[in-house]
A = this chain, B = another copy of it.
């Protein structure tokens, strides 16, 4: 383990949960602006893009938490936390872009796509190193 008191990972997780709450709130405000009453999820294109932007963030969020914590606990907490902040920026760019047009979601989307394999690779290195050490007594 990199750390036994992962305050930075916890802080980034809490911040990202706050961001998710704010994005959900923005869907709610879009409902009001475009008069889309729940449980409807269809309406003017801008509302549908806002709704789908949030859904995509919902889909990504557990994957983000797994890669954040796996890379932070088993490789480097500071690098993982920095990657986590970058992920939050990527999602903000994605969400704001997607509201404007389907095409404008792409920069934030590609940035997200770059962060996931990076954090995953760091996590993989840390986990493999740990498994070699714990089960095969090989210390790299």
- Chain A residues in the interface with B (C-beta under 8 A): 1, 4-5, 7-8, 10-11, 13-14, 16-18, 20-21, 24, 37-41, 45, 48-49, 51-54, 58-59, 61-63, 65-67, 70, 73-74, 98, 102, 105, 116, 120, 123-124, 127, 130-131, 134
Contact = CB atoms under 8 A, between A and B. Distances in A.
In the complex this chain forms, how many copies of it are found? 3
Nearest to A39: B52
B21 A116 contact: yes
B38 A52 contact: yes
B1 A4 contact: yes
Contact of A67 (B7, B17, B38, B41): B17
Contacts of A62: 17, 20, 58, 61-62, 65
A32 to B, nearest CB: 14
A120 B16 CA distance: 11
Nearest to A113: B21
A5 to B, nearest CB: 6
A70 B105 CA distance: 31
Per CB-CB distance, the 5 closest pairs between chain A and chain B, nearest first, are A39-B52, A7-B130, A17-B66, A17-B63, A39-B48
B52 A102 contact: no
A90 B130 CA distance: 28
B70 A39 contact: no
Contact of A105 (B38, B65, B98): B38
